[in-house]
Amino acid sequence: GAVVSQHPSRVICKSGTSVKIECRSLDFQATTMFWYRQFPKQSLMLMATSNEGSKATYEQGVEKDKFLINHASLTLSTLTVTSAHPEDSSFYICSASLSSGTTDTQYFGPGTRLTVL
Amino acid sequence: SQELEQSPQSLIVQEGKNLTINCTSSKTLYGLYWYKQKYGEGLIFLMMLQKGGEEKSHEKITAKLDEKKQQSSLHITASQPSHAGIYLCGVNAGGTSYGKLTFGQGTILTVHP
């Protein structure tokens, strides 16, 4: 149980184009999902909190107009990198929060490797 | 904000050896998560510790929470190549940021056969 998928796993795009990454909780519903970015040999950096049915909450320094997040259902959140540039190349990972009693555990997707040429 | 410091940053062991990874918090721990990540992949949830003194095990991996020391340790017994990867500890940010996780910088584990 508690499986999270991401699609695509890898994407290469030209500078200036937009890329959409999907995050799905396959066997549970998640009102809250999170999007992280990870640079080589570094830990995860939280970008935003995706809330089903409401606007995402972005961390300080993350441009909300550049990284569009939509959480239209309890099992799907999408991250769209608009007008991508080479500096946006990174590993993007999502997680979905599963509540059990008084605890919440985040289960992570396998990640998406974005390369912008 | 709460910060986590992991030690060591990297670790190389021979297969069969035991090892310990530590995670120290700058503030009181109200719960701590341990994850494992293989390079280029997502994070695998290992276990969550909530109470001081709590100890959990999953196969050959045991984690403990010492609230007084604001520290958690992850111990692997008789390590195997399959244990290799990056181990990350994380805590809930707390307050209005509840639900968000703050991670340590990770410990890279290499196990030589």
Nearest residue to A111 (alpha-carbon basis) of A45, A35, A30, A58: A35
Quote the pLDDT of residue B52.
80
Q: Which chain A residues are within 8 Å of B50, Cβ to Cβ?
A: 103
The residue that leads in pLDDT, A14 or B95, is A14
d(Cα A54, Cα B51) in Å, to the nearest integer? 33
Q: Which residue of B has its CA nearest to A99?
A: B99
B40–A113: do the CB atoms touch at under 8 Å? Answer: yes
Tens of pLDDT along A32-54?
A: 999 999 988 888 899 999 988 88
Q: Which of B41, B50, B101 sits opposite A110 (nearest CB)?
A: B41
Quote the pLDDT of residue A74.
92
Q: Which of B42, B104, B106 sits opposite A108 (nearest CB)?
A: B42
Q: SS3 helix, strand, coil % of chain A, rounded to 5?
A: 5, 55, 40
Q: Is A110 a residue whose pLDDT tops 60? A: yes
- The dihedral through the CA atoms of B45, B27, B72, B68 has a sign that is negative
Q: Which residue of A has its CA nearest to B6?
A: A43
The residue count of chain B comes to 113
* Shortest alpha-carbon distance between residue A82 and chain B (Å): 23
Q: Which two tokens stand for residue B110?
A: 């290499």
Q: Is B1 a residue whose pLDDT tops 80? A: no
What percentage of chain B carries pLDDT values higher than 90? 69
CA angle A101, A107, A111 (to 5 degrees): 165
CA angle A70, A22, B106 (to 5 degrees): 105
Q: Which of B101, B108, B110 to mutate to test the interface with A (most CBs of A within 10 A)?
A: B101
Nearest residue to B104 (alpha-carbon basis) of B42, B41, B21, B46: B21
Mean pLDDT of B78-100: 84
Q: Which residue of A has its CA nearest to B4?
A: A43
Alpha-carbon torsion angle B34, B38, B42, B48, nearest 10: -10
What's at B70, amino acid-wise?
A: Q
Q: Could you tell me if A94 and A6 are in contact, meaning their C-beta atoms sit under 8 angstroms apart?
A: yes
* Burial B65-92, CB ≥16 within 10 A → b, else e: bbbeebbbbbbbeebeeebbbbbbbbbb
Q: Which two tokens stand for residue A33?
A: 């999902």
Specify the range with the lowest mean pLDDT, choosing from A24-33, A102-111, B88-97: B88-97
Q: Could you tell me if A79 and A23 are in contact, meaning their C-beta atoms sit under 8 angstroms apart?
A: yes
Mean pLDDT of A12-20: 97
Tens of pLDDT along B2-11?
A: 789 999 999 9
> 39-78 in A: which are within 8 Å (CB) of B?
42-44, 46, 49
